Structure 1
């Protein structure tokens, strides 16, 4: 469709889902919209307000907040407002709880002197499509997953697969409508989909939210055309419109990369400065995943026996992890690898680490934010998907030949010898071709987000849609 000239000054409501992997990229998108002249109101609950501090200070006249209390839910203890503080089922509970903000938000819109002309909300907030319909404004779905993963999610709910043997967790589910016809065993599919029970109010609410995402006016994806062109085109065909906007990679602005991920327990970047180019394996499994002690032991032994330089970001156990059974660093490990390995407990400045010339490979759980950060940095990935969209994300990396399979499954304990070989290979001459291919995509990502690049133009097209 013809693209109108950008009209600065549109007012948009941005509504992130309170989970680290969902909020970060949407807030980065919010920054991009603000510097292009869009006025934004961000909806958050009180305890998530601090996460917006740097964004608000950067745009004091362009971004305001709407702070609403998190409605009570039987599975969410009082005082908890972020998924990171909940067990694995927290995504579902939080999704349902936030749905109860519908009437409060409707009243706010109707009483606002200059209400937003559009809603941009996370894909776990599908109910905001119905709110937008009531208000007569467009709602845009923000996907923290890539185009392939989103295609799989939409296909599951739109064309539910017929299972030959409901008791067989390994039954292969095929997606023939999606390019390259991906297929996955049942156990690798979305846990929200697998737990669906017809007639159950929570299940029906989740299903309605996904179908509402499909029905929304537009979809915004943290990806870029050169990376996922075939899947972006597929989504446009499925949705029968071109309102799919690939605006990534979405990264923290300017010199803020060191802050992404929170404060580090060690000066990782100075340590990396002492390492040769492309010799370090970076190991991190995201904000939600905590390895079992047996998995920790095998990863530690793999790093030790491979003799590679490494940085290992270790997440400490949180809610839902049995005490003493997760996240334990083997005794004496850090002493034995002193000088060539660095263990960072808690958060690490991941974007800055991946961007450092010393890093040659990234051992990852294939969370989409991690993938986009690694693609932007041009780093080869060693894949260990563990849940949700991570299996689809790994599929994409293997198709693009920028990822090498290491393991799959949250309960899997990788083979030690295979891991030793993989770590060694990833930073050796043997993986030179794959690392070079990863660098090519890094250059493509930089071009996409540069002036007049594909993602730059997609952002302009998105803002033009706000004003149509």
Structure 2
């Protein structure tokens, strides 16, 4: 780095993402916005197995660079950014927390050292890096404000929770409560005394010490919970900047020949006639569940696109052939261009696990959400879109659920064709308009983003 560049006064943000895709991509979207809109230098720490995922981001963000992480044991799958079978992905925070010394040494060796640390909320240990460097840290929450507030109360409560009682979140707006099985799985999986889990909990507790918090949401969707977080953290530096994927800078998505064929088929479908089904990038449905889901799709009579992001297809035998023969649907095994699918004029409803990225993408597209929460924060997200906003309907719940295919078929048909869902569709369109307005110049998220940058530049100035 040249001395001229070092003395330019340009902010330099050290970004510490959490490796799984659902965490990585929204933080990269936000970092891209930060860099391209305000000429901010970005250095992204990255695990070896995730380095290839940064190629599109680096190509589209000229002021960004990658810093590969020297993990303690790169041969171990969990240390390479992969999730070992049977373990909660939060445990990735344990090996990543050991990188404090390496990150501090790297930062101090730079002619243009970082002026801010920006990290995923699963990596609260980055607060200690910021402390060592005496720079502000911003925690990035790739979940909603409702979930953020719930996690804040839960991690500060007496753990483990009693599985026989509901978890009462009395401090939150509306005093919601959740059955034990609906509590975020990262809290339910916590094992008191286990060294790795204690590091996970310590990281979440450190988030309350962050100088600021960025939440991938928008004011019209979660204003009450955003105000709660400002009171909870004791300062006003809580900024709703989402949906960040609605800003037109999505990274990591590339067209394929299969996608071109899919969109050609969608172009021939009537407006709002297609049901899109996807449960996220990490979920592979059990065979019995997939069979019930496939039977329901066929029995519903609606057109559909069913995407499973898994190494091995689980679609029922013959489903794809029958769907094509009847011109009723398409099945996708592997990556699917979800945002483009949801925004297509022929797509009217979205069967989703209610992961926050998918929830925001569905909301922004204005489709009717058909909620089937599985785990993690998904029950909270489903509560928000179904009960708080009335912009979604329920299909089933639980990752092991095998619902009656006939009942499920009626839900699917109603989501696409049912006249009784007129109110739900209207609320979904209203929420979509608010999401679009939020990220436009002068919108709530646009203004929060500008306020965040202004305050960050002030506190980072020499």
Residue deviations 1:240-282 (CA, integer Å, cap 9, x gap): 111111100011764868x637757442221111111111100
Counterpart-to-counterpart distance in 2, 1:282 and 1:233: 34
Counterpart-to-counterpart distance in 1, 2:424 and 2:410: 16
Distance 1:54 1:274, change over 3 A: same
Mapped contact 1:265–1:347 kept (Cα < 8 A) = no
> What does 1:282-293 align with in structure 2 at a 5 Å threshold?
282-293=276-287
Counterpart-to-counterpart distance in 2, 1:190 and 1:449: 28
Mapped contact 2:297–2:304 kept (Cα < 8 A) = yes
Aligned to 2:4: none
Mapped contact 2:219–2:240 kept (Cα < 8 A) = yes
Distance 1:178 1:253, change over 3 A: closer
Q: How much has 1:466 moved relative to structure 2?
A: 1.7
Counterpart-to-counterpart distance in 1, 2:156 and 2:406: 42
Aligned to 1:11: 12
Aligned to 2:48: 46
Aligned to 1:55: 57
Aligned to 2:157: 159
Aligned to 1:111: 109
Aligned to 2:397: 408
Residue deviations 1:368-421 (CA, integer Å, cap 9, x gap): 000111111111101111111111111101111111111111111122122111
Give SS of 1:328's match. Answer: coil
Q: How much has 1:88 moved relative to structure 2?
A: 4.5
Q: More deviation in 23-32 or 192-201? A: 192-201
Q: How much has 1:49 moved relative to structure 2?
A: 1.8
Aligned to 2:242: 248
Counterpart-to-counterpart distance in 2, 1:261 and 1:234: 39
Structure with bigger RCO (C-alpha 8 Å, 6+ apart): 1
Residue deviations 1:14-67 (CA, integer Å, cap 9, x gap): 11111010011111101110112211111112332221112211222x112212
- Structure 2 unaligned spans of 5+: 1-7
Tell me, yes or no, if structure 1 residue 330 matches structure 2 residue 316. yes
Q: How much has 1:92 moved relative to structure 2?
A: 3.2
Mapped contact 1:117–1:466 kept (Cα < 8 A) = no
Mapped contact 1:132–1:139 kept (Cα < 8 A) = yes
Counterpart-to-counterpart distance in 1, 2:256 and 2:207: 35
> What does 1:119-268 align with in structure 2 at a 5 Å threshold?
119-160=117-158, 166=162, 169-251=163-245, 254=248, 260=253, 263=256, 265-266=258-259, 267-268=261-262
Counterpart-to-counterpart distance in 1, 2:338 and 2:133: 40
Q: How much has 1:69 moved relative to structure 2?
A: 2.5
Mapped contact 2:58–2:65 kept (Cα < 8 A) = yes
Give SS of 1:362's match. Answer: strand
Distance 1:397 1:261, change over 3 A: farther
Tell me, yes or no, if structure 1 residue 29 matches structure 2 residue 23. no
Counterpart-to-counterpart distance in 2, 1:15 and 1:39: 14
Tell me, yes or no, if structure 1 residue 464 matches structure 2 residue 450. no
Counterpart-to-counterpart distance in 2, 1:273 and 1:453: 32
> What does 1:242-321 align with in structure 2 at a 5 Å threshold?
242-251=236-245, 254=248, 260=253, 263=256, 265-266=258-259, 267-317=261-311
Aligned to 2:81: 82
Q: More deviation in 18-27 or 183-192? A: 183-192
Q: How much has 1:188 moved relative to structure 2?
A: 2.1
Aligned length in residues: 445
Give SS of 1:282's match. Answer: strand
Q: How much has 1:445 moved relative to structure 2?
A: 0.8
Give SS of 2:122's match. Answer: helix
Aligned to 2:420: 430
Q: More deviation in 190-199 or 427-436? A: 190-199
Counterpart-to-counterpart distance in 2, 1:436 and 1:354: 17
Give SS of 1:334's match. Answer: helix
Aligned to 2:5: none
Mapped contact 2:283–2:310 kept (Cα < 8 A) = no
- Structure 1 unaligned spans of 5+: 1-6, 319-326
Mapped contact 2:271–2:348 kept (Cα < 8 A) = yes
Residue deviations 1:71-106 (CA, integer Å, cap 9, x gap): 2289x338x6233x5324151332111111111001
Mapped contact 2:276–2:349 kept (Cα < 8 A) = yes
Counterpart-to-counterpart distance in 1, 2:86 and 2:339: 25
Distance 1:73 1:41, change over 3 A: closer
Give SS of 2:80's match. Answer: coil
TM-score by length of 1: 0.90
Q: How much has 1:135 moved relative to structure 2?
A: 1.4
Q: How much has 1:465 moved relative to structure 2?
A: 2.2
Q: Once superposed, what is the RMSD of the aligned Cα atoms?
A: 2.1
Residue deviations 1:393-452 (CA, integer Å, cap 9, x gap): 111011111111111111111221221110110012222221121111111111100011
TM-score by length of 2: 0.91
Distance 1:465 1:172, change over 3 A: same
Counterpart-to-counterpart distance in 2, 1:466 and 1:414: 49
Q: How much has 1:187 moved relative to structure 2?
A: 2.1
